[in-house]
């Protein structure tokens, strides 16, 4: 790969404003090319780009294209910055009126140096908001997609489409479907701005000459119009990659633009020297339909405020994952202590969840064409979700970690929509850690609140995700929750049911259809506040599950808790994979007696506190 930095603009407007500035504050910048003006952090704008591309591992050569008027400035800069002076190309122009145009400057560099390789083209006088993005990710994505590549960013409020090349990008293929050079706002809803930051395959370079032969006016020999022609008319596949940053000082700009954006980007950098981000994800209870979420069924689940996982990300020099003192123990009082802790809690804490999420996040962003900044961080977590009782403790840690990473790298819901986010969390657990799981927990923890979920095969095959509909939380009855004080591994609850389903076992297939029907009826009961009907459906949900999985698989602990609840005429079912039960008891006296019975049996009992993201509590 060869890199060409374009700095051949004459910058007439900005230079004139600096020269005529009455304050005298910028007198020392008179006559200096735009690319050599001070940028973010005090370094010159071009210094940033040279540091970004100055690596032999990525580029076999870097060339700088300038004009005759500013050649000596760049020659002196090259000498001071270890840039090979022989790689500076002079296009011979001395005025704005005699300029060649950016496309002609790129073609000059390729033709005059006989370049026979893929080429990255960057405007070296652009001011970049983010001084830490990793250009290696751009090259990896370019090679992965095996097509032309255009970098774009999401415009900030106040930026006008008439000042940029605007792209429309297919979110699934990342192909740019339309390129508009400085369109009026009413012509597009896109706020994705392309800048002079492109990667071209060697085989595409001859189209530069072809384009130039069609353009008689120098005003049309700009790279934006070349991309517009290449994409819209020639139908050449061009992929888009989003950088989580902004770019300014593109083309002819004035002194007010320079000072405004330099101050804006500098303030952003100085405003958060070491960012600290803390995010929570909440435990959930499966109210109806589970475990059919893994079998193209339907479910209703709700996040609860009783329990949560909290992840904190702090910007740091190196990337560090901190073990939890209780959940990731490395010191024990004795061998017996190690034995007791391992027997009760297993060997797998939350540290693996942090690591797997980070690994999957980087992989996902690379494949999706989202370049990440070269910033490191320290991650730590805490959780009060009881372990191994089926309340989605693992996915809560993954979900909270993902929230932190998205905030740290400035990714939005447009970059990672909620349905895709739920799939991501499931992929972390299933693909990376081989945890048997369905989508329900991940969906409700991403959306939060009370959620109706339809995982029908038709929806999953068509979209890759189901239909997820929030339900008004004012319709939530007073659920209760109990869980074993000494649970066994809840992952065993799934047994051989999945394999039977895959083999076409009619009993399992019909059972999953019945779970879906119960869910639809439960949704109606919730919305009509028919709690007696809901209680009846909850009992039916458990009996259907018991029929499919059988007592041996459900285990004596779960069955004992169910029996305690039924002694007090309470509706009861499993809220997850096992180790806990939830229910609905409409008799307050029996509810108190049942609580005492659970506690006497060594179980933990609590009243469910719904977590509503829309309430004051949920903010």
Residues near 94 by beta carbon (within 8 Å), at least 6 away in sequence: 67, 68, 69
CA-closest candidate to residue 526, choices 472, 574, 469, 481: 472
Q: Which two tokens stand for residue 328?
A: 């990731």
Cβ neighbors of 263 (< 8 A, separation 6 or more) are none
Q: Could you confirm whether 520 is annotated as catalytic?
A: no
* First CA to last CA distance, the chain: 48
Q: Give the span between the Cα atoms of 365 and 496, in whole angstroms.
A: 35
Q: Tell me the angle at which helices 393-408 and 418-427 cross, rounded to the nearest 10 degrees.
A: 120
Q: Dmax over Cα atoms in the chain, in whole Å? A: 94
Q: One of 441, 461, 505, 551 is an active-site residue; which one? A: 441
Where would I find the H helices in 34-112? 45-53, 71-80, 102-112
Query: 385: which 2 tokens?
Result: 């979700």
Which region holds residue 69: left if phi is over 0, alpha if psi is between -120 and 50, else beta? alpha
Place of tokens 């599950």: 545
Q: For residue 122, give the nearest of 242, 6, 240 by alpha carbon.
A: 6
Which residue, 162, 175, 287, 316, is CA-closest to 224? 162
How far apart (Å, rounded) are the C-alpha atoms in residues 62 and 127? 19
Gyration radius (Cα) of the chain, Å? 30
Peptide bond into 113 cis (omega under 30): no
Q: How far apart (Å, rounded) are the C-alpha atoms in residues 559 and 178?
A: 60
Any idea what DSSP says for residue 229?
Answer: I
Q: What's the angle, vertex CA 5, arms to CA 141 and CA 229, rounded to 5?
A: 65
3-state secondary structure of 165: strand
Alpha-carbon torsion, ordered 350, 352, 355, 357, to 10 deg? -70
86: Cβ contacts below 8 Å, ≥ 6 apart: none
* Partners of 283 in beta bridges: 304
Compute the residue count for the chain. 619
Backbone phi, then psi, for 615, in 5-degree steps?
-85, 170
DSSP SS3 for 583: strand
Q: How far apart are CA 36 and CA 246, in angstroms?
A: 19
Active site residues: 441
């Amino acid at each position: 790969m060869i890199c060409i930095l374009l700095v051949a603009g004459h910058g007439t407007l900005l230079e004139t404003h600096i020269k005529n500035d009455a304050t005298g504050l910028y007198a020392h910048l008179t006559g200096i090319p735009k690319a050599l003006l001070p940028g973010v952090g005090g370094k010159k704008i071009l210094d940033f780009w040279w540091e970004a591309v100055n690596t032999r591992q990525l580029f076999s050569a870097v060339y700088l294209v300038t004009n005759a008027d500013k050649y000596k400035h760049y020659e002196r800069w090259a000498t001071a910055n270890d840039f090979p002076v022989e790689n500076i190309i002079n296009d011979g122009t001395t005025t704005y009126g005699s300029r060649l145009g950016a496309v002609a400057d790129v073609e000059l560099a390729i033709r005059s140096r006989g370049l026979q390789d893929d080429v990255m083209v960057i405007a070296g006088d652009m001011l970049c908001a983010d001084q830490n993005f990793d250009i290696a990710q751009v090259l990896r994505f370019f090679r992965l997609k095996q097509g032309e590549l255009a970098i774009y960013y999401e415009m900030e409020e106040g930026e006008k489409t008439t000042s940029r090349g605007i792209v429309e990008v297919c979110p699934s293929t990342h192909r740019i479907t339309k390129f508009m050079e400085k369109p009026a706002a009413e012509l597009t809803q896109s706020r994705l701005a392309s800048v002079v930051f492109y990667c071209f395959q060697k085989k595409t370079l001859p189209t530069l000459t072809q384009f130039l032969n069609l353009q008689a006016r120098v005003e049309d020999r700009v790279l934006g119009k070349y991309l517009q022609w290449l994409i819209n008319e020639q139908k050449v596949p061009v992929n888009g990659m989003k950088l989580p940053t902004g770019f300014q000082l593109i083309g002819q700009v004035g002194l007010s633009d320079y000072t405004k954006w330099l101050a804006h980007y500098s303030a952003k950098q100085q405003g958060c020297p070491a960012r600290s981000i803390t995010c929570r994800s909440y435990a959930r209870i499966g109210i109806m339909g589970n475990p059919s979420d893994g079998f193209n069924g339907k479910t209703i689940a709700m996040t609860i405020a009783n329990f949560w996982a909290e992840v904190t990300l702090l910007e740091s020099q190196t990337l560090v994952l901190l073990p939890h003192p209780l959940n990731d123990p490395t010191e024990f009082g004795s061998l017996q202590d190690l034995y007791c802790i391992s027997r009760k809690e297993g060997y797998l804490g939350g540290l693996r969840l942090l690591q797997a999420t980070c690994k999957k996040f980087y992989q996902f962003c690379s494949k999706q064409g989202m370049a990440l900044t070269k910033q490191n961080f320290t991650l730590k977590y805490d959780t009060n979700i009881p372990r191994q009782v089926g309340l989605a403790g693992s996915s809560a840690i993954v979900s909270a970690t993902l929230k932190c990473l998205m905030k740290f790298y400035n990714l939005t819901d447009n970059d990672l929509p909620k349905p895709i986010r739920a799939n991501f969390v499931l992929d972390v657990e299933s693909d990376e850690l081989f945890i048997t799981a369905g989508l329900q927990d991940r969906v409700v923890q991403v959306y939060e609140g009370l959620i109706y979920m339809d995982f029908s095969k038709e929806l999953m095959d068509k979209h890759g995700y189901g239909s997820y509909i929030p339900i008004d939380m004012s319709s939530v009855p007073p659920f209760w929750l109990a869980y074993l004080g000494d649970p066994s591994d809840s992952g065993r609850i799934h047994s051989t049911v999945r394999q039977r389903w895959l083999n076409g076992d009619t009993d399992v297939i019909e059972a999953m259809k019945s779970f879906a029907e119960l869910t639809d009826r439960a949704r109606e009961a919730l919305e009509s506040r028919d709690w007696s009907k809901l209680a009846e459906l909850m009992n039916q949900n458990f009996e259907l599950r018991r029929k499919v999985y059988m007592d041996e698989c459900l285990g004596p602990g779960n069955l004992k808790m169910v029996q305690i609840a039924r002694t007090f005429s309470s509706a009861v079912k499993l809220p997850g994979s096992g180790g806990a039960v939830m229910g609905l008891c409409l008799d307050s006296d029996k509810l108190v007696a049942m609580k005492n019975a659970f506690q006497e049996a060594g179980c933990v009992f609590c009243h469910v506190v719904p977590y509503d993201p829309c309430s004051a509590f949920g903010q």
